[in-house]
Amino acid sequence: MTKDEKKYLSKVADLGCIICYRQDNAGTPAEIHHCRGIGLGMGVRNNHYNVLPLCPFHHRGNGGYHGMGRKAFEREYQITERELLLQVKGLLNEKDED
């Protein structure tokens, strides 16, 4: 992992969980989730720039991506992984402008 990738992952994690943010609970500590299925096969981890910040519950728990699977996760939270990724990148751009 490069220095730039580490810096980017830190910025993403600092945003807090994107699902909690969408539920008006901003700032929940987050883990990094590498998006799957965005430009790659489902079993392949994406690069370090296609990541989402997810709290442990929304990442690995029963209500999370890995606990529910992608389709159920997207149905439950009514947003796709790609849409979440675009939202995260937009939030990072806003922070960079400050």
Which tokens is 5 given?
């990738």
Work out the average pLDDT over 6-25. Answer: 97
pTM listed for this prediction: 0.89
pLDDT at 41 over 60: no
Per-residue model confidence (pLDDT) at position 36 = 78
Alpha-carbon 50 to chain mean position = 8
Burial class of residue 6 (count of CB atoms within 10 Å of its CB; 0-12, 13-18, 19+): exposed
pLDDT digits (tens, 9 = 90+) for 81-98: 999 999 999 999 998 876
Spatial distance between the Cα atoms of 10 and 5, rounded to a whole number of angstroms: 9
Mean pLDDT computed over every residue of the chain: 91
Number of helices (H) and strands (E), helices first, in the chain? Answer: 6, 2
Domains along the chain with CATH numbers:
3-92 (3.30.40.190)
Residue 45, pLDDT score: 61
